[in-house]
Structure 1
């Protein structure tokens, strides 16, 4: 005799479903034929459109709730095959709004009360959870979009900075981008060395050469001069056609004497490089080659940003600027002249002749100037090494063909060092 014979079936069903009556989920109990026998109050509250669902097939209920056929088939097949099923995302339109539920159902077994054998299930309202998850995904997507946008803007800024760097001297570029505050209205009074150069009879050259050839010649000339100016530590102020203005002593200075020496050395190296490139330029149509004259003046200048609210130019103002320009104009082709202030700073390392004196417009007294003859070799700076030897690596940097022989000799020395080191290692590794 089974225990179920002593108890009322309805009472047992009500008792077994007691814990689900006040559950926060929408609970149901169906028999093994998927006919719903019990639902709790929340089931009717969640899905008022269903009304009384007693003795109704669970498949009809799911279809009425709007579940797609694929989910209904999954619900049935997994229950029959596995004894339980979880539909993690069930989208249902209830009470005039779209909500998201998960449906968990399982077969129940009871040896004493066979009428408790059936299907127990719950709809869990997860709308808030899925809403938060969606917000999180949207935030992550927005973060990715923001990151991509930031990276794109960073690349644009980098490209802009790279292009901008071509228009500014490295020292000025560094000064502008390293300052956190606006210093556009800060000006300083400093002793500077001002350098001017231009190509003799450039107007005639520009009238005889084709535009493309002229641009090629001028750009190659300015590029070579720029490299030398930067190697010597000069600040390139501007290019005025074929003319170049460079100054020393700002924004970085090595001291008045050292700045003057570097300025003179730069001029000497420029003239040497011009002489080396004459054959190249002749092949480009410059029949008589390029002749360059240079002037250097030293004195107090005002340096800083000058211009309008729309455009500023970091430059220098003062009588030494005018004097350097005038000295350049009185220099002979392929010569370097300097004022007396510059000569006094470098006279121990240069050979120079007094070339004369003249009174530039705006000056109260005549100005004496000197023509540079030679610069002592020991006074010249080793701006670039030909070879860089670090560990087992050798980097070769040649700036003109005149460096090749010296580079070969240094490579031989490095080879001898490596061979000696190899022999020592082999000796140390050999057994005693």
Structure 2
């Protein structure tokens, strides 16, 4: 019997789609044959003409909102051949007003839950951004050099881009905002230092704390750890509950030795910061405080954009990631366990 037979199919799909339910983008999830299974509320708010689209063929939805037939054919071809589609600019007239969207779609693959194998995607509303660009360009074309006006438009554009960046992986964000005609970044083989940490007995903590207090504790923990990671030059891959996956050596590297040293420095700073914040967390109900375990390994990994359950992530794959995970589980409380290669790099 397969593991998927023990779970309710609809509940698993709903849980997988949960992160998109409150997103500012318009999201959908479809079967492998492009028949829509689930959408969030924003899809109908963005395109009120649609109505109920469940069990509707997604290319028919694209036709209904006004995409040209050629563009729809290209979408179907690319999603079938490449598994990923990025359309940076879609112009649609809604209530006689032009709106602009980007469409990102990718095929998902899950060996444990085969009914999660399908296509997920999201429309990003870029109308405000394009209007700001148009206004700014008009100011330049008309030789109106009012410095304060141009700066304000630029600040608004930057603010909008940063807001959207919270919902998109960094490389997808760059594809949309920095390279209008570009696609998803290619994969690469690189020598990286991998860091993985988690909170000891986090499940027990989650079961005992009230939801609001749990959110306060975990959000403050992840925020503090993220700040240290950024300051040390690490690339934050993802948060998996209380776990944090970070790597050094991509997109920029100062050499494997320096990458390993920076990762070790980051881990030490994180341990120190956890100790400093424990009194604060105890006041929030974490009676014994927070204890963490950390694992670090170095080796060659594949890095790039990969489709996962209802999401396209810029992430890292390879045995060093698995080794870091094993080291993390073997580490003592409030300690760091590293592999021999990383140890040799630090000593050198």
Provide the TM-score with structure 1 as the length reference.
Answer: 0.43
| Alignment partners' CA distance in 1, 2:292 and 2:301 | 25
Tell me the CA shift for residue 170 of structure 1: 6.4
User: Unmatched 5+ residue regions in structure 2?
Assistant: 1-126, 136-152
Any conservation in 1 of the 2:199–2:242 contact (CA below 8 Å)?
Answer: yes
Any conservation in 1 of the 2:129–2:157 contact (CA below 8 Å)?
Answer: no
What secondary structure, in the 3-state scheme, does the structure 2 residue paired with 1:204 have?
helix
Tell me the CA shift for residue 200 of structure 1: 0.0
| Alignment partners' CA distance in 1, 2:174 and 2:234 | 14
Tell me the CA shift for residue 178 of structure 1: 3.3
Tell me the CA shift for residue 167 of structure 1: 4.5
Any conservation in 2 of the 1:213–1:284 contact (CA below 8 Å)?
Answer: yes
Please say if 1:287 is aligned against 2:287: yes
User: Unmatched 5+ residue regions in structure 1?
Assistant: 1-145, 349-432
| Alignment partners' CA distance in 1, 2:250 and 2:225 | 19
Q: Is the radius of gyration larger for structure 1 or structure 2?
A: 1
**Higher relative contact order by CA 8 Å / sep ≥ 6: 1 or 2?**
2
| Alignment partners' CA distance in 2, 1:153 and 1:254 | 40
| Alignment partners' CA distance in 1, 2:259 and 2:300 | 14
| Alignment partners' CA distance in 2, 1:148 and 1:178 | 13
CA-to-aligned-CA distance 1:142-201 (integer Å, 9 cap, x gap)? xxxx99981399888655422233346768855764345534151100001110000000
| Alignment partners' CA distance in 1, 2:325 and 2:179 | 32
- Aligned runs of 1:149-228 on 2, under 5 Å? 150-151=131-132, 158-167=158-167, 177-184=177-184, 186-228=186-228
| Alignment partners' CA distance in 2, 1:169 and 1:337 | 29
What secondary structure, in the 3-state scheme, does the structure 1 residue paired with 2:332 have?
coil
- Aligned runs of 1:241-252 on 2, under 5 Å? 241-252=241-252
Any conservation in 1 of the 2:172–2:184 contact (CA below 8 Å)?
Answer: no
Q: Does the C-alpha gap of structure 1 residues 168 and 196 become closer, same or farther in structure 2, counting only changes over 3 Å? A: farther
Provide the TM-score with structure 2 as the length reference.
Answer: 0.53
Q: CA RMSD, aligned part only?
A: 3.1
Q: Does the C-alpha gap of structure 1 residues 171 and 283 become closer, same or farther in structure 2, counting only changes over 3 Å? A: farther
Any conservation in 1 of the 2:169–2:314 contact (CA below 8 Å)?
Answer: no
The count of aligned residue pairs is 204
Tell me the CA shift for residue 257 of structure 1: 0.6
Any conservation in 2 of the 1:171–1:251 contact (CA below 8 Å)?
Answer: no
- Aligned runs of 1:313-332 on 2, under 5 Å? 313-332=313-332
